[in-house]
Structures are given as C-alpha cells and as structure tokens.
Amino acid sequence: MNSASWIFYLLFYVVSVAGLWAMFVKASEEGWKALIPIWNTLVLLKIVGRPWWWIILFLIPIVGFVMWIIVANDTSKSFGRGAGTTVGLVFLTFIFTLILGFGSAQYQGPSAGPPADQTV
C-alpha cells in the first residue's frame, strides 16, 4: 500500500469516527466509544433500542446486510429522520453519520425500544 492510500484510509477513518462520535454525544453516550471497533456497534445498537446480541447477526452473510439496513432505519428514526436518511446511511454511511452528528437532527430516543415515557 502506498502512502497516498494510507492517507486516504486515515482520512476516511477520521471522518467516519467524527460523525459517529457526534451522534453518540447527541444520544448522551460518551463520544470516545466511537473509536473502538465492535464496541461502537454495541453502543449504536443501544442507542437505537436493539439488543446487544444482534451484533452476532452482523457476522452472518446476507443476514448481516439485512440487519445493517434495519439498524440504519432505526438510526434514522431515532434522530427524527426518514427513509432518505436510511438509504444514505446504508450506501454512504460516513457522509450520513456526519449529517446526523453535526446537522440539525436531534436524538428522539431509541426507535426500536419502548416509548421513553413508558416504564417496563
């Protein structure tokens, strides 16, 4: 791998983490958790209201992609956005995490869990 590839990879990683970090902060999670692979996925599952064991489903071919679409949709809903943001998160994740993290979207609570005013 040449130096230009490494610079591109590093830039891509920094931009991706920055968007996820900002999303975590909006959802009242500590932003640094976005830096740690696998843990950041567990935090995202918590933010959208899905159980932690869903991370295992991401490891199954085809099923993992379907799970990502579901989590992307849950993420969109959790930040008060719709289907357009879901499509963006699926295909241009690093750009749409920046939009959710640094844009005007506000965290509404976990879209896949029980309503915030309901006690379980």
Q: How far apart are CA 106 and CA 98, in angstroms?
A: 13
Q: How far apart are CA 72 and CA 104, in angstroms?
A: 18
Section 14-38 average pLDDT = 95
- Within-domain flag for 19: yes
7: its two tokens? 């610079």
User: What's the one-letter identity of residue 107?
Assistant: Y
Backbone conformation region of residue 110, classed left if phi is above 0, alpha if psi is from -120 to 50, else beta: beta
Domain extent, residue 86, equals 3-102
pLDDT digits (tens, 9 = 90+) for 58-116: 999 999 999 999 999 999 999 999 999 999 999 999 899 999 999 999 999 999 876 55
pLDDT digits (tens, 9 = 90+) for 41-63: 999 999 999 999 999 999 999 99
* Tally of structural domains, the chain: 1
- Within-domain flag for 107: no
- Within-domain flag for 80: yes
- Within-domain flag for 33: yes
Of 96, 76, 80, nearest to 88 by C-alpha is 96
